[in-house]
Chain A
Amino acid sequence: MADDSNPIPVQQECPGGCCKKDVSESRRTLMRRLGWGAFFTTLAVSAAGTLRFFFPRVLFEPPTTFKIGTLENYPQGTADKYGVVSVSEQFMEAQRVWIVRESDKIYAIFGKCTHLGCTPKWFPDDRQYKCPCHGSQYYSNGENFAGPAPRPMDRYAITKLEDGRIMVDKSVLFTVTQFDDPRCFLEA
């Protein structure tokens, strides 16, 4: 006796045109898309996270401001032919900054060659700064006149605090076109 009573036929034509195969097919497509979608999303997020990883949030670099004393520390005097009364090297070693006094103002030159960033050296007798790397030369006011340097040395923001002391802020830098900015020098 043949067994015709199997309740679950393996293959069955779908009467209403709705085919079982199609249903599972589209479910599989959806699952496949979700799967790959999750995979590539994870990959993209990890890649973005890894890129972000290379930009540290905290820098263990020295503070950007320092105080250079009061106006009395930078007395008036006779100016050289570039209008500079004095160039102070007091903060050069620790801060890489020259404090320059002209007859009507004080400003802070960042001791970084505008060619490729070496530290020029101050020659008081010549009233010049000279860069050891590729021979750029600057007048005492930081203006370039020889070598590959494209522009005068940059200057840092300088302000007078309420107690009379003068503060230099190394996080604010001015290039030659901005030297008229009131934060770039101290009238004195």
Chain B
Amino acid sequence: MATQIWKSIFRHDFEDTPANRGKVIRSNVFLHLHPLRIPKHAMKIRFTWCMGGITFFAFLVECITGILLMFYYHPVIEYAYMDMKYLQFDVPFGQILRNIHRWGAHLMVMTVMLHMLRVFLTSSYKPPREFNWVIGVLLLTLTLLMSFTGYLLPWDQLAYWAITVGTNMGAATPFIGVEGPFSLVDKFTDVRFVLLGGTTVGANALLRFYVAHVIAIPAVVFVGCAIHFWRIRKDGGISRPL
């Protein structure tokens, strides 16, 4: 197998030597985000809880199940709710697919917060890891935004009113919300209008939330995760137990 084809793709041999182990990590575009060697303490579940890892796993589950849901879901008000029912009652394995996507979303929100808690409790946010904490706050916000935008998509009463309430809170933003303090805008130029693509939760809102949910936000999360993981390596690997 160690042919020219193999060698043209993977720049290392099979032999289990320290040099080859290093090359496996370094010559792989995904693995190179990871530190070359992992110290023993970083493997201790008691220290990391693997909460960041579980969060990333949940994110991957959401990506895969989400792409599958996209094969049946139309982001149009005439179809959205019907498609959810169709998925639940007639699409083969549709019910479990939809449920996994929903459970995964709940799990991700919970684990990302627990991950933040453990980083805080282990003082892992301290220099040189301050910037990774900042990236983390961005990832937390994006995780919540993915949940918020996804919440509208079933287009049922819960979805409709949750987004009505949520975007009305946006209208109360200072300066850029029509009902907010120091408002500089009217109801056709405020932040709520951009979020909804109109003045009511309607067809434009559904489409906008869909685009944000399936492409815009996950794309930023992917880039954010890449930086987050790469920074762990650059900041000297997982922090040490005190």
Residues on A close to B: CB < 8 A? 54-56, 59-61, 116-118, 133
Contact = CB atoms under 8 A, between A and B. Distances in A.
B197 A118 contact: no
Interface residues of B, number: 16
A56 B204 contact: yes
In the A-B complex, the 6 residue pairs with the closest CB atoms: A116-B165, A117-B168, A117-B164, A54-B194, A59-B198, A116-B168
Contacts, number: 30
Given A60-B203, A116-B169, A133-B161, A55 B194 contact: yes
A118 B165 contact: yes
Interface string B200-214: 101110000000000
Given A60-B202, A117-B165, 4 more contacts: A55-B193, A59-B204, A61-B198, A116-B164
A117 B188 CA distance: 18
A133 B162 CA distance: 9
A133 B198 CA distance: 23
A60 B206 CA distance: 14
A126 to B, nearest CB: 22
B28 interface: no
Given A116-B165, A118-B161, A55 B188 contact: yes
Contacts of A56: 197-198, 204
B189 interface: yes
B107 to A, nearest CB: 27
A61 B200 CA distance: 8
A55 B189 contact: yes
B199 interface: yes
Contacts of A55: 188-189, 193-194
Contacts of A61: 198-200, 202
A133 B203 CA distance: 23
13 contacts: A54-B194, A54-B197, A59-B199, A59-B204, A60-B202, A60-B203, A61-B198, A61-B202, A116-B164, A117-B165, A118-B164, A133-B161, A133-B165
Contacts of A60: 202-203
Contacts of B193: 55
